[in-house]
Amino acid sequence: MDYALIINGTARKTADYADVKNPSTFEVVGRMPLGTPQDLDDAVAAAAEAFKTWSVTPDAERQAACHAIAAKIEAHAEELAQLITAEQGKQLNGLGSRFEVGGTAFWTHSTADLQLPVEVIQDNEQGRIELHRKAIGVIGSITPWNWPMLIGSWHLIPAVRTGNTIVIKPSPYTPLSTIRMVELMNEVLPPGVVNCVSGADSLGAVMSAHPGISKMVFTGSTATGRKIMASAAPTLKRLTLELGGNDAGVVLPDADPKAIAPGLFWGAFINGGQTCAALKRLYVHDSIYDAVCDALVEFAATVPMGDGRDESNQLGPIQNEMQFKRVCALVNEAKQAGGRILCGGAPRGGNGYFYPITFVADVQEGTRLVDEEQFGPVLPIIRYTDVEDAMRRANDNPLGLGGSVWSSDVSKAKQLVQRLECGTGWVNKHGGIQPNAPFGGIKQSGIGVEFGPEGLKEYTVTQTVYC
C-alpha cells in the first residue's frame, strides 16, 4: 500500500516512494512517500496559515481537540498496534506495540489536561506584572524509529495543546504509523495544524534549516542532534533535543540479586534495548557479582523473542540492518577485549534482524560496548569493589540521560542516585517515565525537557506584561 504525505489536511502523493520492511521477515509492509523540499515548503506554508487562527483558538477548544485525538487513537488502537509491529518489529504484547499505542492515548489525555496559567509576578501599588506564555509559531519535528508513534505524539500533542502548528518528519525506517496517526489527528483538527512530510534523512536537514520554522523538536542520536543545532543557528530556532543515552546502573553490595533481576532485565531490554533511557552499563559489586549475573541469565531464559506478530513473544528483532551490524560489532570487540559471554553473543541466523539477549561479563571502560550507546539487546556487566569508584566511573561519560542505584537501603540509594550526572535518577528501577514528570538529558544527552508543565513551556515563548 502506498501511503501519502499530509499537507493542509489533504493526502498528497509523491513521485517517488521507498519500501518499508518488517525487520522480522523483510517483507514489504507499505511504501513511504518521499517528500521533496517543495512538499516541505508547502507544509510549512500551510502550518503558518493555520497558526493565525489556531494560536488564538480558546484554550478549552484546544484541550478538547487533544482529548478527541486521544479518543481517535483509542478507537483505532489495534490497527495502529499492528502497523507498529509490522514496520518497527516489536511484539504486540508486553511492553510492545499495544503498550505503545495505549501509552500514546494516555499521554495525550494527560497532556491535554495540563495548563499554563498566566503568572502574576507582582500586583501592588507599584503596578501589576503578568507573565504570559504564547505559542511560538511553526514547529518542526523529527523522530526516530524505536518508539515511532509514542515519540511522535510527544512532539505533536504539546505543540497543538499550546497553539502551535507543526510539520513532522518521521524516521524513514518507521514512517507509516506516524502517517496514520497524523491522518487521524486531521479528522479532529483544522487543516494545516498538523502536517506530515516523510522522506530521507536529507529532508530532515532541510527542515532544521527552514526559515519558516521557529522551533525544532528532535528525538534521535546525539550525532544528528549536533547537526540540527548547527543548522538551526542561522535562524536562532528554539530547540528541544532528546538525544542518546548510555545509562549506568549501580548495584550496591546489599542488593538482593534475585529480587532485582526482573527490574534490571526490563530496564535494560525494554524494546530489545532500543530505548533511549534503557539501562546500558551495569556496575555490580564484586561480592554479589556472580549472583547477579546468574539471576539475569536465568531470567533471560524465560523471555521469548521472535516475530512481533506472534502473540506469545515478549521481545522482537533489532529494527534495522545498520543497528544490527553495530550490535554484532560491539559484542565482537568486547569478546576480543576479554569480555565473557554469559548468554547469547552471536546473531540467531535465518530471517530477520534477531540478536539474542546477551550479557557480557568482565568488561571495562575502554571497550566501545561500555563507552558508547549499544541500543540493542546486549548489556555489559562491570565489576567494582569500591562504591565511590563505581560512581566516578558511572559519571565518566559524555552522556547523561538516566541512571539508577539498586540497594536494600532505599535512603542510601536515593542519596547516591542524586550524585549521578543525569536528567532522571531511579532507585531500584530503571527507565519508567510519566506524562506529569519532566524528562530530558543533561550533558550531551540533550537540551530541554519533555512532559509535565516544564515540558509544555518549551512550546511557548514568554511575554511579560506591565499593566
Whether the CB-CB separation of 122 and 128 falls below 8 Å is answered with yes
Q: Does 245 bind ligand NAD (CB under 6 A)?
A: yes
Site string for ligand NAD, 144-183 (x = CB under 6 A): xxx----x-----------------x-xx-----------
What residue is closest to ligand NAD based on CB? 204
Rounded to a whole number of angstroms, the minimum distance from the CB of residue 408 to ligand NAD is 30
Q: Which of 168, 176, 103, 82 is nearest to 431 (CA)?
A: 103
Q: Taking CB under 6 A as the rule, does residue 9 contact ligand NAD?
A: no
Looking at the Cβ atoms of 113 and 201, the one nearer to ligand NAD is 201
Q: Determine the Cα–Cα distance for residues 392 and 398; give it in Å rounded to an integer.
A: 13
Task: Indicate the pairing of strand 446-447 with strand 238-242.
Answer: antiparallel
Is residue 242 annotated as part of the catalytic site, yes or no? yes
Count of chain residues binding ligand NAD (CB under 6 A)? 29
142 binding ligand NAD? (CB under 6 A): yes
* 138-146, 179-187, 247-255, 305-313 -> range binding ligand NAD (CB under 6 A): 138-146
List 307, 373, 421, 458, residue binding ligand NAD (CB under 6 A): 373
Measuring CA to CA, which residue among 57, 56, 82, 48 is closest to residue 188? 57
Among 7, 32, 66, 228, binds ligand NAD (CB under 6 A): 228
Nearer to ligand NAD, 133 or 210 (CB): 210
Q: Which of 140, 344, 400, 446 binds ligand NAD (CB under 6 A)?
A: 446
Considering only 71-79, 93-101, 137-145, 305-313, which stretch makes contact with ligand NAD by CB under 6 A?
A: 137-145
Pairing of strands 340-343, 358-361: antiparallel
Q: How many CB atoms lie within 10 A of CB 412?
A: 15
Residue 455 binding ligand NAD, by CB under 6 A: no
- Helices vs strands, H then E, count in the chain: 15, 22
Q: Verify binding: residue 375, ligand NAD, rule CB under 6 A.
A: yes
> How is the beta sheet containing 279-285 ordered, strand by strand?
340-343, 358-361, 378-384, 279-285, 247-251, 402-406, 424-427
Closest CB to ligand NAD among residues 74, 372: 372
**Three-state DSSP state, 182:** helix
Of 137 and 220, which CB lies nearer to ligand NAD in the complex structure?
220
Q: Are the beta carbons of 104 and 79 closer than 8 angstroms?
A: no
Site string for ligand NAD, 251-290 (x = CB under 6 A): -------------------------x--------------
- The three cell numbers of residue 190 are 483544522
Q: How far apart are CA 161 and CA 219, in angstroms?
A: 19
Q: Which residues contact 360 (CB under 8 A, 6 or more apart)?
A: 331, 334, 335, 339, 340, 341, 342, 345, 369, 378, 379, 380, 381
Please list the active-site residues. 242, 276
Q: Which residues bind ligand NAD (CB under 6 A)?
A: 142-146, 151, 169, 171-172, 201, 204-205, 208, 219-221, 224, 227-228, 242-245, 276, 373, 375, 401, 441, 446
